[in-house]
C-alpha cells in the first residue's frame, strides 16, 4: 500500500511526451477531475450565497436528470508542472460512445505517462481524483454534488447512478487529491 501511495499519491511525478511536437513533459503531477452531466452548465447561474449545495443538487437531479436515476460522468486529465502551474491536458473518453465529449483524448495527444520514480506506466484507475467544492471562496463545476452528498466518483467511473444507492452514496476510497 505504501508503494502505491508513493507512486500514485499527490507528490508522484510522471514523464510523457507529445508524439507530434516531440515535447517531453517531465516532473508532471497528474490527477483527474470530473463533472456530472450538465452540472457545470446548470450551476453557472448560481453561487453558494444564493443556494445551498443540497438545494442545487435536488434541482439538478429533478430538472436535468429526471427519472433516469443516473447521470454521465466526464473526466479531464490535469497536470501540474514543477513550476506549480495547473492545466487541463485532455479529456479522458470512455468506451460508451454517446458519453464522449468534443475534443481529443489524452491517448490521442500524448504517450502513456511513466513514473519518474519507478519507470512504471500509469494505471489510470489509481490516479487521484480532485475533490470538488460548492462554498464561499471556492465554487467548482459539479462541486454541488460532492458538497451535498459527501460523495465523489472512483477514477474514471462512467456513470453516477444514485438509484441503487439512494441519494447518499458512500464516499469513494481514494488517495488525497492535489
C-alpha grid cell for residue 10? 499527490
- Integer Cα distance of 171 and 178 in angstroms: 18
Which residue from 57, 51, 66 is spatially nearest to 168, judged by alpha carbons?
A: 57
Cell of 50: 444564493
* pLDDT tens-digit map of 115-153: 988 999 988 888 888 899 999 999 998 999 999 988 889
Q: What is the pLDDT of residues 55-102, one digit of tens each?
A: 999 999 999 888 788 888 888 888 775 555 556 565 554 332 333 334
Are 37 and 20 within 8 A, CB to CB? no
- Distance of alpha carbon 78 from alpha carbon 75, whole angstroms: 10
Q: E strands of the chain, at which residues?
A: 14-17, 24-36, 70-80, 86-92, 114-115, 134-135, 138-139, 159-161
Amino acid at each position: 500500500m505504501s508503494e502505491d501511495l508513493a507512486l500514485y499519491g499527490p507528490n508522484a511525478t510522471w514523464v510523457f511526451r507529445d508524439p507530434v511536437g516531440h515535447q517531453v513533459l517531465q516532473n508532471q503531477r497528474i490527477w483527474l477531475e470530473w463533472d456530472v452531466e450538465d452540472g457545470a452548465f446548470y450551476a453557472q447561474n448560481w453561487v453558494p450565497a444564493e443556494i445551498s449545495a443540497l438545494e442545487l443538487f435536488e434541482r439538478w437531479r429533478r430538472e436535468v436528470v429526471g427519472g433516469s436515476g443516473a447521470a454521465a460522468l466526464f473526466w479531464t486529465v490535469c497536470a501540474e508542472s514543477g513550476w506549480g502551474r495547473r492545466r487541463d491536458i485532455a479529456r479522458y473518453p470512455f468506451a460508451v460512445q454517446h458519453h464522449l465529449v468534443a475534443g481529443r483524448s489524452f491517448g490521442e495527444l500524448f504517450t502513456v505517462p511513466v513514473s519518474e520514480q519507478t519507470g512504471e506506466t500509469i494505471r489510470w484507475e489509481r490516479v487521484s481524483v480532485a475533490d470538488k467544492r460548492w462554498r464561499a471562496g471556492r465554487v467548482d463545476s459539479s462541486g454541488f454534488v460532492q458538497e451535498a452528498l459527501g460523495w465523489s466518483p472512483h477514477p474514471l467511473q462512467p456513470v453516477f447512478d444514485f438509484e441503487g444507492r439512494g441519494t447518499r452514496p458512500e464516499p469513494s476510497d481514494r488517495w488525497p487529491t492535489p
